């Protein structure tokens, strides 16, 4: 087991959260976890095909960032591990599940599958199969917001873009080129590195000469922040600051969230590379259990409310599966549709 980095400490007393906000965060994370658990079940039952990459364990990063933004107005750009980003952005669970089933009712009309979730309505810019592919796309979205506001005079153009990617992407050229442009142009974008320690089977510490990714922000004269990615309140606090900076025209932020995936790289991965000790270290830091304990300790929720949310989300997941199973396959006559932009 490679020596673990010292996780940043966070004092929840330094932030304010209402009961409504706390329960919304909890519900969002539970939705992501139970959805992914159901995906695994459906995949092994032969309902899904291709590669499926699950997000279990990383929910605090997605919820902490996306729930600090304006749903349906701000932009979210994802990776091939995109189901939960889509859910947090507001894409209905039934549409995400239908997409995984390859059905016409899916958010990408059955054409994208697991790695290519997209929803213009919910400002989800897509999932991307290639590592770091979404980083320049996210910068493009941030640039058009800045252009509309400063050149076209649209005072309502103050949207922020959140760009998620993994630690492996921080070694790719797109990362360095895009951060440089974003800093030069002070784009309203937040770069969120979900450092789960492993790029498929390659340990992060073996793949980069500077494992502390957030420090790379300094060479671009950009704010860089390290955060405990297993603590949704900690992520939320740094995300709120980054969103405020971006919306005020003060430029981008690079957030490195130290997190961990509870399953293998994909459902085809036997997960034999990671040690038992490493897994146990991170399993004990489950972000959903941590938030539930905090809500109970602070009297922001009781056991009944927590269990009610669990039951509610399970019903949502069950309904999503029924919807996906009963939805039609894409019509072969529409094979060439949506290749190019078109009116509907």
Tens-digit pLDDT profile for residues 297-340 = 999 999 999 999 999 999 999 999 999 999 999 999 988 888 88
CA triple 274-96-295, angle to 5 deg:
65
CB 98 within 8 A of CB 110: yes
- Radius of gyration of the chain, Cα coordinates, nearest whole angstrom: 19
Which of 238, 217, 219 has its CA nearest to residue 227? Answer: 238
| 13-17, 134-138, 309-313: the lowest-pLDDT one | 13-17
pLDDT of residue 5: 87
Q: What is the pLDDT of residue 253?
A: 98
Q: What is the largest CA-CA distance in the chain?
A: 58
- Sign of torsion over alpha carbons 245, 88, 79, 258: positive
DSSP state of 256: E
Give burial (CB, 10 Å; 0-12/13-18/19+) of 278.
Answer: middle
| Separation of first and last alpha carbons in the chain | 54
> What is the rounded distance in angstroms from the CA atom of residue 342 to the CA atom of residue 344?
7
Helix, coil or strand: residue 191: strand
| CA separation, residue 35 to residues 8, 55, 69, 110 (Å) | 29, 10, 22, 18
Rounded mean pLDDT of 154-172? 97
Instruction: Indicate the burial class of 241 (C-beta count within 10 angstroms; 0-12, 13-18, 19 or more).
Output: middle
Helices 287-297, 232-247: crossing angle, 10 deg rounding: 90
The candidate with the shortest Cα–Cα distance to 242, out of 230, 231, 251, 234, is 251
Element (H, E) at 290: helix 287-297
CATH no., domain 17-324: 3.40.50.970
Tens digits of residue pLDDT in 231-260: 999 999 999 999 999 999 999 999 999 999
Cross-strand partners of 199: 202
Closest by alpha carbon to 91, among 120, 114, 57?
A: 120
Q: How many helices (H) and strands (E) does the chain have?
A: 11, 7
CB 160 within 8 A of CB 69: yes
Nearest to 138 by CA among 244, 253, 45, 35: 253
With 70 as the cut, is the pLDDT of residue 344 above it?
no
Backbone angles phi, psi at 121, to 5 degrees: -60, -40
| 183: nearest Cα among 238, 253, 244, 136 | 253
What's the chain's average pLDDT? 96
51 secondary structure, DSSP code: -
Average pLDDT of the residues in 106-133: 96
Half-sphere exposure of 302 (CA within 13 A, CB side): 1
Q: How many residues are recorded in the chain?
A: 344
């Amino acid at each position: 087991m490679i020596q673990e980095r010292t996780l940043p400490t966070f004092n929840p007393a330094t932030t304010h959260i209402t009961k409504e906000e706390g329960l919304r965060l909890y519900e969002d994370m539970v939705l992501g976890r139970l959805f992914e658990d159901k995906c695994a079940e459906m995949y092994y039952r032969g309902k899904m095909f291709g590669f499926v990459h699950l997000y279990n364990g990383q929910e605090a990063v997605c919820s902490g960032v996306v729930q600090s933004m304006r749903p349906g107005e701000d932009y979210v750009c994802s990776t091939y591990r995109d189901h939960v980003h889509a859910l947090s952005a507001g894409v209905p669970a039934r549409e995400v599940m239908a997409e995984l089933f390859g059905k016409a009712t899916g958010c990408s009309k059955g054409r994208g599958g697991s790695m290519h979730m997209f929803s213009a309505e919910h400002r989800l810019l897509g999932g991307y199969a290639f590592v770091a592919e979404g980083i320049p796309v996210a910068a493009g979205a941030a640039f058009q917001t800045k252009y509309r506001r400063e050149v076209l005079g649209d005072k309502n153009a103050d949207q922020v873009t959140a760009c998620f990617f993994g630690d492996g992407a921080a070694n790719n050229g797109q990362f360095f080129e895009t951060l440089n442009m974003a800093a030069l142009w002070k784009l309203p974008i937040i770069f969120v590195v979900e450092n789960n320690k492993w790029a498929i089977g390659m340990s992060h510490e073996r793949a980069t000469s500077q494992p502390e990714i957030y420090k790379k922000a300094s060479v671009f004269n950009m704010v860089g922040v390290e955060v405990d990615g297993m603590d949704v309140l900690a992520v939320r606090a740094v995300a709120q600051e980054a969103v405020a900076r971006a919306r005020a025209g003060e430029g981008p932020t690079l957030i490195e969230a130290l997190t961990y995936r509870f399953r293998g790289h994909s459902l085809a991965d036997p997960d034999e590379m990671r040690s038992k000790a490493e897994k146990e270290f991170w399993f004990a830091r489950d972000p959903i259990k941590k938030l539930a304990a905090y809500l109970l300790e602070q009297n922001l929720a009781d056991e009944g409310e927590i269990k009610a949310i669990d039951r509610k989300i399970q019903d949502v997941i069950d309904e999503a599966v029924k919807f996906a199973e009963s939805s039609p396959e894409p019509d072969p006559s529409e094979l060439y549709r949506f290749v190019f932009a078109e009116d509907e």
